[in-house]
Structure formats: structure tokens, C-alpha cells
A and B are shown apart, each in its own frame.
Chain A
Amino acid sequence: MSGYLSFLARRLVGTVPVLLGISVIVFFLIHLVPGDPARTLLGVRATDEAVAALHARFGLDQPLWHQYLSFLGRLLHGNLGRSILYDTNVSELIATRLSATIWLLVAATVLALLISVPLAVLAASHRGRLADQIVRAVPLVGLGMPTFWVGIMLVLLLALKVHAFPVSGFGKTPAQHLSSVVLPGLTIALALSPILIRSLRTSMIGVLDSDYVVTARAKGLSHRRVILAHTLRNAAVSSITVLGVNIAYLVGSTLVVERVFALPGLGTMMLDAIFNRDFPVVQGVTLVFALMVVVINLLTDLAHAALDPRIELA
């Protein structure tokens, strides 16, 4: 157990440089704006006072290192700046939108696993046969599907027939939240599954070829029992690894899917902020998206280490 705790500690320390890097990139976003950022952001109709006010707000009149250090200092206090449009703290705005995105992420992950694990197991255990050929052909078509388009097609194909799931909004009760994230979650799951199936199939083949599975078969256990009792734990480990690798993709796809289904999450918030040229909000949401990736990565690593005793903790 102490091995696990020190693994946790080292893993946490290891994220510090990444977190600093994220803050640097988010900080420099505003310096990529061509010309005078304040004037570009406010548009041609901006008054000189408004430009000066924005300069002061972003500290654009300060030296660069000073700007970054005060930016970092504010971040460490959880201060992401103030929204230009709403004149409230960006962190408060983000807090109101976070739950829809997290609901969506959880729904997408669960649905993606429900789709890909059985298909990957099916393909791996029927290697080279028809079922495998079909499952292997899916990623070829699926990888090129734009996620948002899958969402629109789902609405087109399902929403008219299945009225149980709303095609937009988030509702007010947890039950409504749940039914609201089914279609968007399914959209992300369908876009993610081709990648998951591909990697899971490969690692399941590795599991099925391993000595202990051969032994289990030699003992005369049924195919069904070998799959259920001997390979599913390893399938879980592989699923977590594969999910971990694709976490950034998963988080990024919420952005556009929220737009398709008008879910009031971080993605719609970022897009609205882009069209309102609300720079602090864009910066804040970009940062939170990256933080989500780092945190989920950390969680998958920890789950991985807990599930697989072979992982070297020391």
C-alpha cells in the first residue's frame, strides 16, 4: 500500500511541469493575436478608453515575464480572470457549466466501452473469421466520420422514432440530465469506438494467446468460461489503457457535440465566448479542458496500477 501511495505522490509531482506548460501555452494565446490584441479583440468600433481598459485588465502594458508571473499567481488562487461579456469571474461561469460536460464525458465513456469491449472480444476470439473481418472493417469507415455529423445523423435516424431522448438542452433534474446526455454521449461513443475497437482487439489477441488462457482451454473449460472468467479482467486493464491514450480526443469531442445538441457545457461556453470575442473565457475554458485531460489521465494511471499487479510501483 505504501508503494501505491509513493506511486501516487510521484505521479502527482510529475504533473507539475505539464501544468506549468499548460499555463504557458494558455498565457501566450493572447500574444498570438495579431497587432494590438486589445484593439483586435474589441473590434474597429472600440473607443480608446475601452482599449486602454483592456490593456490594464490583461496587464498588456507590463513586461512579458511580469505578465506571466501575475497570470500564474492568479491561477494558483483559482482566479481565471473576469469575463468581458458577463463581467463575472470566469471560474464561476465555468462552475455553472462543468456538470453538463462531466455528465456527457461519463455517458460517452460508458457507452463507448459498452460498444467496443464486446465487439473487440468478439473479433479477437473469432480471429480471421467473418465476425473479425466485419469488426475490422468498421474503423476504416468510422475513423473518417465527423463527430458532429454522426450526431446530426443520429437525431435524424432516432429522434423521430424514439421520443424518449431529447435532441437538445440539459433539463433540470438528474433524470432529465441523464436522458439529455444519451444521444450526445452515443455520438461521441460511436466516433471513439473505431479507435478503441482497433487497439482493444490487438491487446485481446495478446491475452488470448497467453499461456494461462491456453492452460485454461487445455483444462477443458468452455470457450464462454475462458472469455468471461479469464480474460475480462485483462480486458478491463486494456480498456483503461486505451481510454487513457484517447482521453484528449474524448474531451475535445465534447466541444462540438455540445454544440450539435445545445448542451450547456464548457464546449458551448467556449464557442459562445469565441463569437463574443470574450478572451478571458476562451483562455479559462481552454485551461480547464487541459486540466481535465491531466486529471483523467492521472485517474486512469491510478486505476491501471490498482487493477494490474504487474505494474511496477516502486
Chain B
Amino acid sequence: MTAAPLAGLPGVAGRTATTRRSLRLNPTLVAGLVLLALIVLVGVAAPLITRWDPVQQDLTSSLLPPGGGHLLGTDLLGRDVFARLIYSARVDLRVGALAVLLPFVIGTTLGLLAGWFGGWFDAVLMRLVDMVVAFPSFVLIIALVFALGQGTTSIYVAITLVGWVAYARIVRGEVLVAKEQEYALAARASGLPTWRILLRHLLPNVLLQAFVFAMSDVVLSILAIVTLGYLGLGVPPPTPDWGSMIAEGQGFVFTKWYLTAAPGFAVVLVGLALALVADGTVQRSGRR
């Protein structure tokens, strides 16, 4: 069964309009993607950009000012701050993006099933969602990381346990609307197996909102990781991470302000890139 026999239906007509819109140049999306690509590139190519090792300590050159081979000077342990700054992109971006992947998959799947089947599964799932959202998410993440023990795996697990609810809510809401639309009714009436309706017809239509949320969710999860790092609960040292860099620099904020300012700006830049991508995606899809 292809989409062709359904071409006259209103739900399908909307799709061609979307396709046409997406061909237009969208400056917001392009700007976001370019910025994001640059940040990722700097992280990946870090060894080519700086000759310093981000974890190599040199106590004889502690807290050197910027210049003299060290672009942003050195930290208390004599490590090159610029090297730590760009190597941090590797850790924070990777953990941030991966930490969103599992909640995205789990939440979308559960939301899809709950929205389609309804009944007791939906009721139980939504009560569970209510429980999790009653907590300030960051408090729960910290409590979970504490309970699970410090480390990257704990961060993934904690963010997944807290993060899936948002996707489940969004996708369930979208499915509730979508399943009453003509294309879904037509697919059901034509006797397609349920899994096929869900995967081929519903999922592509409800995924956009989840994807847009995922863009801002990456920002939230990077903020969570950076905050955990600041509190000393994040990626274990000596791995460079923007959060722990800010914490290390805080003691010298009045004499060497760039030690805290620079890693913070890096986070803001990542946030800006992802916000632009999210905004651009919404504009492109024409749903505001």
C-alpha cells in the first residue's frame, strides 16, 4: 500500500505543502546547523587545534596568564585552559546528545502505544508521568546520580529515568489528535496491521514535535551535565568538562575572570546553536 490512493485526502495534501516549504532557504536552521557543525568540528579536531594535553599537569606553570603559548593561560594545576575548553566539547556534547537518545526512544515508543491503545496502559503510564513531573527534574537527577554512584553511566540512567516523560507526553498528545485524522482512519479501515499503521503512518507524523523538543532537551541535558560537573557529581576528573572548569575557576573569579567566563560562554554557544536548529525546524515544518 502506497500513499498514492490517499492523495486526495486532506491529511495527505498537507504533506506536499510541507515539502515545498522545506525547499525554501531557512536562515535560522542554516545558522544553527553551521554553528553546531563548527562546535562539533572544534571538539573532534581538538588535537589538531591545540598542541596541549588537556589533562597534563604542570605544577611549575600554575595559573599562568593568557599568552606565551597558552591562549587562555593555565589553571591551578598548570593545565592549558584553552585545550581543556575545546576537549570539553567532546565530553559534554557526546554525553548530552547520548543522554537524550534513550529518553527519546523510550518516551516516544511508550507515548505512541499509550495514545493509540488508550485503556489501562495509558492510565497507568500517565499516572507514572504525573509522579515524575512532580519532582523538580534536576533535584531528581541529582538524587538518582547520588543513589546510583558517580559516573557517566549513572548520568545516562538518571537523565533517562527523568527525561522519558516529556517525550511520552508530547507523542501521546500528538497521537490522540492524529489517530482521528483521515489518513489514520483510512489506514485503519483498509485493514493494515496495527504495527504498520503505527510505524508507517502515525510515527512519521508525530515525530516532528518530539524531535523539536529533543533539540531543546539536548540543551537541558548538557546544562544538567555541566551543573553536575560544577557540583562535583559529574563526569569524573581529570576528564575536562565545562561544569568542573567553571567550579575550578570560581575561586579566582575576581583575578582571572576568564577561567569561569570562557567555559560558560561555550555552553551558551552550544545552547544558541541548538535553539536555532529547533526554531528553524519548526519554521520549516510551518507549524508554529
Q: Measuring CB to CB, which residues of chain A are less than 8 angstroms from any residue of chain B?
A: 17-18, 21-22, 24-25, 29-30, 32-34, 40, 139-141, 143-149, 152-153, 155-156, 160, 248-249, 251-253, 255-256, 259-260, 270-271, 274-275, 282-283, 285-286, 289-290, 293-294
Closest to A273 in B: B146
Does A255 lie within 8 Å of B230, measured CB to CB? no
Where chain B touches its partner, the secondary structure class is helix
Q: Quick check: is B122 within 8 A (CB to CB) of the other chain? A: no
CB distance from A60 to the nearest CB of B (A): 14
Taking CB atoms, residues of chain A closer than 8 Å to B133 are: 248
Q: How many residues of B contact A (CB 8 A)?
A: 50
Given A21-B130, A32-B147: A293 touches B135 (CB 8 Å cut-off): yes
Q: Quick check: is B48 within 8 A (CB to CB) of the other chain? A: no
Does B135 lie within 8 Å of A290, measured CB to CB? yes
Does B223 lie within 8 Å of A289, measured CB to CB? no
Given A156-B253, A160-B254, A259-B231: A252 touches B267 (CB 8 Å cut-off): no
Does A140 lie within 8 Å of B134, measured CB to CB? no
Does B231 lie within 8 Å of A149, measured CB to CB? no
Does B275 lie within 8 Å of A289, measured CB to CB? no
Does B135 lie within 8 Å of A25, measured CB to CB? yes
Q: Quick check: is B52 within 8 A (CB to CB) of the other chain? A: no
Complex-state Cα separation, A21 to B232, whole angstroms: 29
Given A143-B216, A143-B271: A149 touches B246 (CB 8 Å cut-off): yes
Closest to A251 in B: B136
Complex-state Cα separation, A22 to B269, whole angstroms: 36
Cross-chain pair count, CB within 8 angstroms: 145
Taking CB atoms, residues of chain B closer than 8 Å to A260 are: 250
Contact with A along B108-146 (1 / 0, CB 8 A): 000000000000000000011011111111111011101
Does B272 lie within 8 Å of A140, measured CB to CB? yes
Complex-state Cα separation, A256 to B137, whole angstroms: 13
Complex partner residue of B135 from A22, A32, A143, CB under 8 angstroms:
A22
Taking CB atoms, residues of chain A closer than 8 Å to B269 are: 144
Taking CB atoms, residues of chain A closer than 8 Å to B261 are: 153, 156
Q: Measuring CB to CB, which residues of chain B are less than 8 angstroms from any residue of chain A?
A: 127-128, 130-140, 142-144, 146-149, 216, 219, 222-223, 226-227, 230-233, 243, 246, 250, 253-254, 257, 260-261, 263-264, 267-272, 274-276, 279
Complex-state Cα separation, A155 to B260, whole angstroms: 12
CB distance from A114 to the nearest CB of B (A): 23
Does A143 lie within 8 Å of B219, measured CB to CB? yes
Complex partner residue of B144 from A22, A24, A29, A141, CB under 8 angstroms:
A29
Taking CB atoms, residues of chain B closer than 8 Å to A141 are: 268, 271-272
Complex-state Cα separation, A271 to B138, whole angstroms: 12
Does A25 lie within 8 Å of B131, measured CB to CB? yes
Taking CB atoms, residues of chain B closer than 8 Å to A153 are: 260-261, 264
CB distance from A161 to the nearest CB of B (A): 12
CB distance from A47 to the nearest CB of B (A): 21
